[in-house]
Amino acid sequence: MDRLTLAVVSRNYFNMPAWMGLHAGLFAAEGIDLAIDHIEGIEEVNERVRDGRAQLAYGVTEHVILDAEAGGHQVIIGGNVNRLPFSLVARASIDGIAGLRGKRIGVSSLRAGSSSLIMRLLAQHGLHYPGDYELVACGPILARWDLLRSGGIDAGLQGAPLNHMALDQGFVSLAEPRDDFQFTSLDVDTRWATANRDLLLRFLRGFLRAHERFHTDRNLARQVAMAESGIEARYADSAWEEYTQGEIFPRDAEASEAGVQALIETSALIRDLPTRARTRAEDYIDRTWLAQARASL
């Protein structure tokens, strides 16, 4: 068995295709002993690919773009969260998005991730950062959920199933963005990929089968979600329905060109990248790896 490490953001539902592949033995069937490292600091996920502690990542896609613009070697080779799965969850006392004026909103990072979505969404309602509200960098979804319940923040984006849990606990949803947006993706360092072609293709065969299995095996998805994240069966089912019906995880495992393009355009609006060399989604995506893996199934 060949050991591979996949770095992921926290222990949240975004990891379901990889979890499914692990539990169903789809990677083991390819001779791969897959370790999934759950990391709370979103910047560290892609840093581990950069320094070799991980060979692959379910990373925040904006970090691939930032790495590329800084002369790095990371590239998107597969999809993960291809469409926005979020609810903008707030305390019950907040009346609409206008009620967020002067409030504290939790985001994963000020440099990338959910901050760009919050800035874009609130700007559409006349609220602009930093004058109209405060962004609090508190880490990924689970950390935001803890701070929301404790009162440390007033609102934050939550994905299924935490959005459903929040509503059941008396919080309110101010918006339900479901646009094409490549929030997270399967990322790799091109130098490692080239030097380990056979190993990467074997991983990707498991990756392709895992995405198909997620969409076709609700019972296994429920069991895996409960085992990996500790949620109740009803919330595992509601998350599965949302992710399959909304095509949030791509059944074909491919990255979304429209989603990456939306990310590029949003980040260009709110982040100063004066030396940006690339402006098209396809400049950051390498589809040849999945194509080769699919051809060898």
| Percent residues over pLDDT 90 in the chain | 78
Which region among 90-99, 137-146, 222-231 has the lowest average model confidence (pLDDT)? 137-146
Angle between helices 233-245 and 218-229 (to 10 degrees): 120
Contacts of residues 244-248 at CB distance under 8 Å and 24 or more positions apart, as own/partner, are 244/214, 244/215, 246/83, 246/85, 246/178, 247/82, 247/83, 248/81, 248/82, 248/83, 248/84, 248/85
The answer to whether the predicted template modeling score (pTM) of the entire model surpasses 0.85 is yes
Among residues 25, 60, 12, the alpha carbon closest in space to that of 263 is found at 60
- pLDDT for the residue 264: 85
**Rg of the chain taking only CA atoms, in angstroms:** 18
Residue-wise pLDDT for 17-58, tens only, equals 999 999 999 999 999 999 999 998 888 999 999 999 999 999
Q: For residue 128, what are its two tokens?
A: 């602009």
Q: Which domains does the chain have, with CATH numbers?
A: 2-83+181-295 (3.40.190.10), 86-177 (3.40.190.10)
pLDDT at 108: 81
Lowest mean pLDDT among 29-33, 113-117, 129-133, 211-215: 113-117
Do residues 7 and 45 make contact, with C-beta atoms less than 8 angstroms apart? yes
Report the C-alpha gap between 184 and 7 in whole angstroms.
Answer: 12
- Reported as a single tens digit per residue, the pLDDT across 131-149 is 999 999 887 778 888 999 9
Supply the pLDDT for residue 97: 96
* Tokens 């000020």 belong to residue: 110
Predicted pLDDT of residue 219: 98
Mean pLDDT (the chain, rounded): 92
Residue range 233-288, pLDDT digits in tens:
999 999 999 999 999 999 999 999 999 999 888 876 556 555 555 678 899 999 99
Q: Which of 48-62, 66-80, 99-113 has the lowest mean pLDDT?
A: 99-113
Look at residue 270 in the predicted model and tell me its pLDDT.
Answer: 57
